[in-house]
Amino acid sequence: MRKLTLTILLTGSIYLSRAQTTAAVNPRPLTMDEYSKAQTFTIADLDKDTYVKFENAYVLDRYENRKPYFITGSDGLKKRVDLYKLIAKEGMQEIGLMVFYTNEKGKLYKALVPDFTADGKVWEKYFLDIDNINKVETNFILKLSYVLSKEVSFQQYKVLNGGKDMKEESATYGNDICFPGDEMVTMANGSKKMLSTIKSGDEVITIDPATNKSSVVRVKELTTHEAKNYALTRLVLVAADVKNTRTGRLVNLNTKVLQATPNHPMLTKQGSLKMGEIATGQEVLCLNEQTGKYEAFTVLQKTENGGGIQKVYNIVADGGSTLLMNGVMVMQK
Amino acid sequence: MANSLNRRNWIKSSALMAGGLAFFSGTISKLAAMPVAKKLAPLAKRFTDMDAIADAPPVLKARLLANENPFGPSPAAKKAIQEAIDLGYQYPMQSMGVLYDKIASYEGISSGNVLMESGSSPLLLAAAMYYSKGGKSIITGDPSYDDLPSHAERLEGKWVKVPLTADYKLDLDAMEAKIDANTGLVYICNPNNPTATILDTAKLKAFCERVSKKVTVFVDEAYIDYLPDPKGSSMISTMKAGSNIIVARTFSKLYGFAGLRCGYIVAQPDTIKALSNYTTGFSLSATTIAGAIAGYREEAFLKEALEKTLASKEYLYSVLKKEGYEYIPSSANFVMFPLKMDSRKFVSEMMKRGVGVRSWQFNNKEWCRVSIGRMDEMEAFAEAFKQLS
């Protein structure tokens, strides 16, 4: 069983190494001496140090700027895995992938995945080294295998997508139900205020979905969620009022754009749906500033992307079930 | 294609659109082709230096990311600003006239040749609006300062980018060759940002005289005060001789007014009149005007700021050389040099070490642009750089 795991791991490691070095210029093999020397390299602070030079000849560069993996197995023990690219400064060539594995007692184990062009003997040494660690640190290889498999998968995805910026694909889909801070909230007096500047005590508009009548409620709290790269659903809504007149066709076109996390509830003509579930063509109640009335706007376009690292916000009010955000009726959480 | 078909189906099925189908299919397609997003794109997001500033932490050991001059404003300008506060309740028309006259007198032109705004940015925007009307194109170097052409592209215009020469200077011959019937403006940033290279004055003058007969030439001289002979290198003399060119100047650099915002253009009266339709002409504050009046051509201060900048720049050169890096010789208060690692990674690692710089990618290389700061800031740069170089 262990041999099978090792074989899978080795294959995966080669793939990962190859995927990583595809873009490098003249990748050269990691030598046996370098393999041994790199085992002495340490990172003083795995939480903070993302780029560390050694002997002015090598660099450990945090792989993809990734946060560490924390893996808890069926034994309930929490392990931490940090990945760093080993770079030879001469020509800035990526010659390996350093793995820092910290167990629940704080004991650190290091493994160095050689680059694809490394000699078979270096690969053999790596194979033996991780097997030896596995003898003293139970399930080390299993957990290493999981982490490397996940990263092989990521590299494969990246290659398939032409190496494009992965920020959007790595958006956070969490439980936070909220809006970006620059959405505009309709206040009691009809003015608009940026969501991030809303304070408790502010008076905002709520609409009764049954009657389309608006009333005023007071903000109890503006909930702020920590800055992450939240996935955001973006709806472009449009309403068109067309009249045939004697001189021609008179068109009043009104558009609105709303962004929120995909799980934010919205009331549509088809019932209550999460933002991410709304389809183009569905209708949402909005304030038509041209008529001053609440009218159904149709979803013309819907996109969902990472919005970049930012805080997101939500209003907790002392009444009502809805709010007006960018002129669009949204449900309170 | 699938999307537009779906959209058309939706329009057909939507009761909302009843009666307006034929007209709307075109309108909606255009709308869906991103004008909504384009119009909604926050204006400030296109100012890349501003992005860098906005993304930087509030406290940096060295703020070397926006080509600011940390030695300014001068003590005399600061004193004048403080004194102007008392009359801050008054509109500053009179003092504005004084500043216009002061600039006109120094340059030997009429105040009708000058248009001032709060920094050169509103004037670049005005030029972008005016010269890109009807889909006209703006010809620029690549890379060069992109404020004006990016405004134009966001509006109606097109942006024609001409690669720099092998020594990273604007390629005047290639730019001239790109001029056609649709060209609205040729934009020259001299010294060029971000490369800090300078054009030969005689060649640029000849270019301006020749080309401006066909199309307006906009020469942005934001960094001209860093040259040994700013007046001799300026194209204002060419404008005075009758050429249809616009010269932009700013107090944001050697004068140290980046936060106070004061800039102007010098051009033929007809051009000033045309562009003033796209500005308020009244965006400067009384305090800034007072500071600018006190600081304008304050030679002793300007000389000292320049000397300190040159000393810091020499130190930077020595740091780069010591670490085995090359750089483009600079004629401004910033230096561009090629990196040996991913430039975004470099900027992020420098930022972690309290040093703000900016990155570029061009000519298949990764680049860093570092602004010249105080000596303690350059030492902070050196310390952080050694950890990464």
A163 and B CB contact within 8 Å: no
Residue written as token pair 């966001």: B154
Q: Rounded to whole angstroms, how far apart are CA atoms A97 and A87?
A: 9
B388 and A CB contact within 8 Å: yes
Nearest residue of A to residue B12 by CA position? Answer: A281
Predicted confidence at residue B11, as pLDDT, reads 33
Nearest residue of A to residue B24 by CA position? Answer: A240
- Which has the minimum average pLDDT: A54-63, A287-296, B220-229, B299-308? A287-296
Predicted confidence at residue B336, as pLDDT, reads 98
B26 and A CB contact within 8 Å: no
pLDDT mean over B27-54: 47
Q: Rounded to whole angstroms, how far apart are CA atoms B24 and B12?
A: 10
Q: Rounded to whole angstroms, how far apart are CA atoms B77 and B95?
A: 14
pLDDT at B29 over 70: no
pLDDT mean over B92-102: 96
pLDDT at B153 over 60: yes
A64 contacts A72 by C-beta, under 8 angstroms: no
CB contact under 8 A, B340 and A51: no
B260 contacts B107 by C-beta, under 8 angstroms: no
- Burial bucket for residue A76 (CB in 10 Å: 0-12, 13-18, 19+): exposed
In the Cβ-directed half-sphere of B87, how many Cα atoms lie within 13 Å? Answer: 16
What tokens appear for B210 in the block?
Answer: 């020749």
State pLDDT tens for residues A50-88: 999 999 999 999 998 888 888 887 788 888 999 999 999
Q: Rounded to whole angstroms, how far apart are CA atoms A205 and A215?
A: 6
Which of A146-155, A278-287, A316-325, B309-318 is modeled with the greatest confidence?
B309-318
pLDDT mean over B75-98: 96
B80 contacts B95 by C-beta, under 8 angstroms: no
Predicted confidence at residue A162, as pLDDT, reads 66
B42 confidence band (pLDDT: 50, 70, 90): very low
Among A120, A56, A108, A114, which residue's Cα sits nearest to residue A85? Answer: A114
State pLDDT tens for residues B142-152: 999 999 999 99
Q: Cβ atoms within 10 A of the Cβ of B265, count?
A: 29
- Burial bucket for residue A4 (CB in 10 Å: 0-12, 13-18, 19+): exposed
B7 and A CB contact within 8 Å: yes
State pLDDT tens for residues B230-254: 999 999 999 999 999 999 999 999 9
Among A236, A219, A135, A225, which residue's Cα sits nearest to residue A180? Answer: A225
B41 and A CB contact within 8 Å: no
pLDDT at A166 over 60: no
Predicted confidence at residue A238, as pLDDT, reads 86
Q: CA dist A144 to A21, A244, A274, Å?
A: 20, 70, 38
In the Cβ-directed half-sphere of A172, how many Cα atoms lie within 13 Å? Answer: 18
Q: Rounded to whole angstroms, how far apart are CA atoms B195 and B369?
A: 8
Predicted confidence at residue B36, as pLDDT, reads 35
DSSP bridge pairs for A203: A218
A50 and B CB contact within 8 Å: yes
pLDDT at A189 over 70: yes
State pLDDT tens for residues B177-208: 999 999 999 999 999 999 999 999 999 999 99
CB contact under 8 A, A51 and B349: yes
pLDDT at B7 over 90: no
Considering only the beta carbons, identify the residue of A51, A253, A255 that sits closest to B388.
A51
CB contact under 8 A, B16 and A283: yes
Which string of DSSP letters, residue by residue, matches B11-22? HHH-GGGTT-HH
Predicted confidence at residue B30, as pLDDT, reads 38
pLDDT mean over A276-285: 89
State pLDDT tens for residues A5-49: 545 454 455 445 444 444 444 679 999 999 999 999 999 999 999
Predicted confidence at residue A263, as pLDDT, reads 87
User: Which chain A residues are within 8 Å of B7, Cβ to Cβ?
Assistant: 280, 300
Considering only the beta carbons, identify the residue of A92, A238, A255 that sits closest to B340.
A92
A3 confidence band (pLDDT: 50, 70, 90): low
Which of A135-144, A289-298, B210-219 is modeled with the greatest confidence?
B210-219
B343 confidence band (pLDDT: 50, 70, 90): very high
Element (H, E) at A123: helix A120-136
Among A36, A46, A43, which residue's Cα sits nearest to residue A79? Answer: A46
Q: Rounded to whole angstroms, how far apart are CA atoms B312 and B377?
A: 9
CA angle B364, B217, B256 (to 5 degrees): 75
- Which has the minimum average pLDDT: A163-177, A253-267, B118-132, B206-220? A163-177
pLDDT at B291 over 80: yes
Predicted confidence at residue A157, as pLDDT, reads 77
B263 confidence band (pLDDT: 50, 70, 90): very high
Interface pTM (ipTM) of the complex?
Answer: 0.71
Q: CA dist A333 to A222, A260, B328, Å?
A: 12, 12, 56
B188 contacts B204 by C-beta, under 8 angstroms: yes
State pLDDT tens for residues A217-247: 999 999 998 888 888 898 989 887 777 777 7
pLDDT mean over B298-323: 97
Considering only the beta carbons, identify the residue of B13, B19, B32 that sits closest to A301.
B32
Mean pLDDT of chain B: 88
The pairing of strands B217-220 and B245-250 is parallel
CB crowding A150-184: b at 16 or more within 10 Å, else e:
ebbebbeebeeeeeeeeeeeebeeeebbbbbbebe
Element (H, E) at A141: helix A140-160
CB contact under 8 A, B340 and A300: no
Q: How many beta-carbon pairs under 8 angstroms link A with B?
A: 63
Mean pLDDT of chain A: 85
B224 contacts B196 by C-beta, under 8 angstroms: no
Predicted confidence at residue B54, as pLDDT, reads 73
B101 and A CB contact within 8 Å: no
B84 contacts B76 by C-beta, under 8 angstroms: no
Predicted confidence at residue B283, as pLDDT, reads 94
pTM: 0.67
Which string of DSSP letters, residue by residue, matches B193-238? TTT-----HHHHHHHHHHHTTTS-EEEE-TTGGGSS-HHHH-SHHH
What tokens appear for B108 in the block?
Answer: 């030997």
